[in-house]
Amino acid sequence: MLPLVCEAVGRESQPVRHLLVVDKQAPDADVLPVSSVFDILCDAEFPRLALQTENECASTMALILYSSGTTGAPKGVMLSHRNLVACVLQSEVVTHDLASGDEVPGTMLAIVPMFHTFGITFQCLLGPYKGVTTVVMTKFEMTKLMQLIEAHSVTDTILAPPIINALVKMPAAATTERYNMTSLKRAIVGGAPLGNEIIEMMEARMPDLRIAQGYGMTEMSPTVAVNPPAARRLESVGALAPSIEVRVLDSDNKLVGCGETGELCFRGPNVMMGYLGNLEATRETFDEDGFLHTGDIGHIDSGIYVYITGRKKELIKFNGFQ
């Protein structure tokens, strides 16, 4: 495996300074095994690891996640440390009742893959930041989902629309009557629209549960808007997260007013650095004022709630692929 990785690294335009081999036995004399690295770390003096200035945070890449973007083939989305920190703080505000009001912090069930920006921000970063216990589901199975909610008294989770659709279609005898899931209070839903009827059916079956739809994209780290459970609007994908500026542009790229329909464009501290090794795609996505053009058609109401009504160019999603 190591020769293949070395070959791939050699082809990348982004320089790789260190390659860690997680193996107790070194494959050759030029490779330091990870166990030896751990031994060295016990006594060695370290250079500063923390990023101390805003410029360092904004200019230092933390992650590369692949996304189809607004159109076309997958592209490497470069997210900085500032992007991720900003998104965690933004997400905390729009999900302020996650584990709040309880004497003991809640428990989150992590279902979304950790290589997905939603999983990274909400499960790996936001959960620990808020002191929420996180239970990781290694492989999704519907029965296992219900068992884990009951066993760990799960209060919060992130669900994809197909999961909720499937739960609604299952008989109560196989779900709420078989498993005690009354601990589940909040579920954030994203990735695709979820019909109001399905939301109402799910909440009728689980009266303590409140479903909040969210809207985001990898290029936004990913949070753009989330419907707060206490003040949600079912027809909206959510209230705009803090520190995000929005423009709605018509087909001639002219600014339209509140409530008018056009392409949604955003600017904020959570917006990506750009696409890895693809200046052309980066230039096509950002305008001269630094606003990211999403390709989504919609409008913003006076309460800064976001509404999606279409796409400039239609995409077909199947099993997470565009």
C-alpha–C-alpha distance, residues 62 and 80, integer Å: 5
59 shares a domain with 37:
no
C-alpha–C-alpha distance, residues 46 and 48, integer Å: 6
Domain presence at residue 49: no
| 37 pLDDT more than 60 | no
Which range of residues forms the domain containing residue 146?
54-311
User: Minimum mean pLDDT among 7-11, 233-237, 295-299: which range?
Assistant: 7-11
Helices then strands, counting H and E runs in the chain, come out as 10, 14
Contact in structure between 226 and 241 (CB atoms under 8 Å): yes
Contact in structure between 110 and 129 (CB atoms under 8 Å): no
171 shares a domain with 59:
yes
Q: What is the mean pLDDT of residues 209-221?
A: 93
193 shares a domain with 148:
yes
Give me the sheet containing 186-189, strands edge to edge. 133-136, 107-110, 156-159, 186-189, 210-216, 223-226, 238-240, 305-311, 292-300, 262-267, 245-249
Q: How confident is the model at residue 322 (pLDDT cuts 50, 70, 90)?
A: very low
Which domain CATH number covers 304?
Answer: 3.40.50.12780
Query: Beta-strand (E) ranges in the chain?
Result: 61-67, 75-80, 107-110, 133-136, 156-159, 186-189, 210-216, 223-226, 238-240, 245-249, 262-267, 274-275, 292-300, 305-311
Q: How confident is the model at residue 26, as a pLDDT?
A: 63
Contact in structure between 281 and 72 (CB atoms under 8 Å): yes
How many domains are there within the chain? 2
Q: How confident is the model at residue 49, as a pLDDT?
A: 61
Domain presence at residue 319: no
243 shares a domain with 137:
yes
254 shares a domain with 295:
yes
Contact in structure between 281 and 275 (CB atoms under 8 Å): yes
Cα distances (angstroms) measured from residue 229 to each of 27, 210, 222, 240, 311:
53, 6, 19, 14, 27
Q: How confident is the model at residue 6, as a pLDDT?
A: 81
User: What 8-state DSSP symbol labels residue 318?
Assistant: B
Domain presence at residue 322: no
Q: pTM, whole model, 2 decimals?
A: 0.81
94 shares a domain with 147:
yes
Reported for 111-116, long-range contacts at CB under 8 A and 24+ positions apart, including other chains, are: 111/137, 111/140, 111/145, 111/157, 111/158, 111/159, 111/160, 111/163, 112/158, 112/160, 115/65, 116/65
CA angle 205, 157, 186 (to 5 degrees): 50
| 45 pLDDT more than 70 | no
Provide the 10 A C-beta neighbour count for residue 59.
13
11 shares a domain with 117:
no
Q: What is the pLDDT of residues 139-189, one digit of tens each?
A: 999 999 999 999 999 999 999 999 999 999 999 999 999 999 999 999 999
Domain presence at residue 317: no
Domain presence at residue 151: yes
Domain presence at residue 47: no
C-alpha–C-alpha distance, residues 163 and 165, integer Å: 5
Q: How confident is the model at residue 3, as a pLDDT?
A: 81
Domain presence at residue 255: yes
155 shares a domain with 26:
no
63 shares a domain with 32:
no
151 shares a domain with 85:
yes
C-alpha–C-alpha distance, residues 167 and 178, integer Å: 13
| 137 pLDDT more than 90 | yes
185 shares a domain with 212:
yes
127 shares a domain with 104:
yes
Please give the mean pLDDT across all residues of the chain.
Answer: 86
User: What 8-state DSSP symbol labels residue 6?
Assistant: H
C-alpha–C-alpha distance, residues 26 and 37, integer Å: 11
